[in-house]
Structure 1
């Protein structure tokens, strides 16, 4: 177990390439833009489904009378 932690520490310190701050900022912006686009798509789908269900319910309510 101790050997595992020593090797893990060594790999994190000496072998892993950490991103620079500008790379990190760029990646963050990409994730934020993608999240906003995905949220807008989900909103559009939700509103469309809500309107579709309202039409279906009104039609079915009209048939029952």
Structure 2
């Protein structure tokens, strides 16, 4: 049990003193960048899905 307690204490110590946390403005900028990237990716995948669906529907309706 002492190994687990030691691990938790060392983890808390590292998180407090050795990790460099971003500032609030850096966090906002990164979050906005991720949001924009996710939206662009979703639009691209949605457009590809629409094109493939339309193409396959057209193809199957030919028979």
Under a length normalisation based on structure 1, what TM-score does the superposition of the two structures give?
0.87
Partner of 1:63: none
Asked if 1:11 is matched to 2:14, the reply is yes
Distance in 2 between residues matched to 1:39 and 1:18, nearest whole Å:
29
> For structure 1, which runs of at least 5 residues remain unmatched after alignment?
61-65
Query: Which runs of at least 4 in structure 1 moved beyond 4 Å after TM superposition?
Result: none
Superposition RMSD on alpha carbons, in Å? 0.7
Partner of 1:54: 57
Distance in 1 between residues matched to 2:46 and 2:10, nearest whole Å:
47
Distance in 2 between residues matched to 1:59 and 1:37, nearest whole Å:
33
Partner of 1:40: 43
Under a length normalisation based on structure 2, what TM-score does the superposition of the two structures give?
0.89
> For structure 2, which runs of at least 5 residues remain unmatched after alignment?
none
